[in-house]
Structure 1
Amino acid sequence: MTSSALTFDRLAYVDRLRNGGIEEGQVRAHAEALDAALKDSVATRNDLDEVGRDLRREIREVETRLEAKIETSAANLRVEILRWLIVTQSALAGFVFAAIKFVR
């Protein structure tokens, strides 16, 4: 993630290191390295908000697909149960009819 909203005061950082007794060449190298690292790898609040929005959108899409799949599965299950009931009731009716015929 690139962070355009992140501010790093290189001059203040350089002054602090210089005042701490660090040599000028090392001070500049540290400041440049830290500036590059912060620009490339630190997430800002805006970065996190954007990722959060993307995640919420993806979650809503998955929920929608899952609900559709559940509704389809439930409908298929109802059809299978109805089919099973019709077949078993027909078989039971046949057995009852055969038993009546056999007893007579």
Structure 2
Amino acid sequence: MSQMAFDTLQASEALETAGMSREQARAISLIVRRSHEVADVATKADIAEVKRDIADVRKDMDTRFEKVDAQFADIRKDMDNKLEKLGLSLTIKMGGMIGFLVVSIGLMLKYLR
């Protein structure tokens, strides 16, 4: 974050003009300067920069989520295709087993008579 500018000479001159002694004016201006140096204050420019950074992050996230959504759609299609093939395969196998069972029962009934 950027620091606020504070001119100690200008401040001490202003305080001297107001009737303070030179030493008092310097002491007060130094105290104010030190308080400004340690102050961690965000400026409007700092806030605008953070907002731009957040907007950039949101754009990146949207792009990544679009890619992830596309990948999920591909996975769903693959799973649907595999499940459809599995269902068809099971239908054929079950049909074969039922056919075998019907023929077997028919042969058993023929030989049991």
Cα contact 2:6–2:36 (8 A) shared by 1: yes
The CA RMSD over aligned residues, in Å, is 2.7
Shift of residue 8, structure 1, vs aligned partner: 5.1
- The residue type paired with residue 26 of structure 1 is A
The residue number in structure 1 matching 2:107 is none
- The residue type paired with residue 56 of structure 2 is R
C-alpha distance in structure 2 between counterparts of 1:50 and 1:88, whole Å: 57
Shift of residue 34, structure 1, vs aligned partner: 2.3
C-alpha distance in structure 2 between counterparts of 1:103 and 1:62, whole Å: 60
Identity of aligned residues (%): 19
**Number of residue pairs matched?**
95
The residue number in structure 2 matching 1:88 is 87
Gaps of 5+ in 2: 104-113
The residue number in structure 1 matching 2:27 is 26
The residue number in structure 2 matching 1:2 is 2
The residue number in structure 1 matching 2:76 is 77
SS at match of 1:42: coil
C-alpha distance in structure 1 between counterparts of 2:83 and 2:90, whole Å: 11
C-alpha distance in structure 2 between counterparts of 1:81 and 1:88, whole Å: 10
1:16-37 deviation digits (Å, cap 9, x = unpaired): xx779xx715313312212323
1:40-69 deviation digits (Å, cap 9, x = unpaired): x21111110111011111111011112101
Gaps of 5+ in 1: none
Shift of residue 81, structure 1, vs aligned partner: 2.2
Larger radius of gyration: 2
C-alpha distance in structure 1 between counterparts of 2:99 and 2:92, whole Å: 11
Q: Normalising to structure 1: TM-score of the pair?
A: 0.71
Detail structure 1 runs of 4+ shifted over 6 Å in the superposition.
none
- The residue type paired with residue 100 of structure 2 is K
Q: Structure 1 residues 29, 8: closer, same or farther in 2, change over 3 A?
A: closer
